[in-house]
Amino acid sequence: GENVEQHPSTLSVQEGDSAVIKCTYSDSASNYFPWYKQELGKRPQLIIDIRSNVGEKKDQRIAVTLNKTAKHFSLHITETQPEDSAVYFCAASTGNTDKLIFGTGTRLQVFP
């Protein structure tokens, strides 16, 4: 069935360093890949997304890359700040309804 794997489950970095989170999806028909940031007790918030006809997308300190052949996509955060600390979820949309299949999340901690 449809599945999204996400690694690592936890990631600790020093402020100013880069952070990379990687995901793999199973459904080759998936064509939309969003990333959500969820702070404790808050709703998931869309931070960046990429569609299958694009290989890379950047938005300030955040970038996402997609390798359709390998069914991999990654989130890159540069110059991390303490306020980047949160749980990050990757997802892949699938089916006619564009429902999202989520990864299991990465808890990012940025130490000052």
Partner 1 sequence: DTGVSQDPRHKITKRGQNVTFRCDPISEHNRLYWYRQTLGQGPEFLTYFQNEAQLEKSRLLSDRFSAERPKGSFSTLEIQRTEQGDSAMYLCASSRQGSNEQFFGPGTRLTVL
Q: Nearest approach, Cβ of 61 to partner 1 (angstroms)?
A: 20
Comparing CB distances to partner 1, the nearer of 19 and 37 is: 37
The answer, yes or no, to whether the previous bond of 112 is cis (omega within 30 of 0) is no
Please select the residue that binds partner 1; options are 15, 58, 104, 111, rule is CB under 8 A.
104
- Sign of the dihedral defined by the CA atoms of residues 58, 19, 74, 89, in that order: negative
Amino acid letter for position 103: G
* CA separation for the pair 49, 71 (Å, rounded): 15
Out of 11, 27, 32, 62, point to the residue binding partner 1 (CB under 8 A): 32
Interacting residue ranges for partner 1, rule: CB under 8 A: 4, 6, 32, 34, 36, 42-46, 49, 51, 89, 91, 93, 95-105
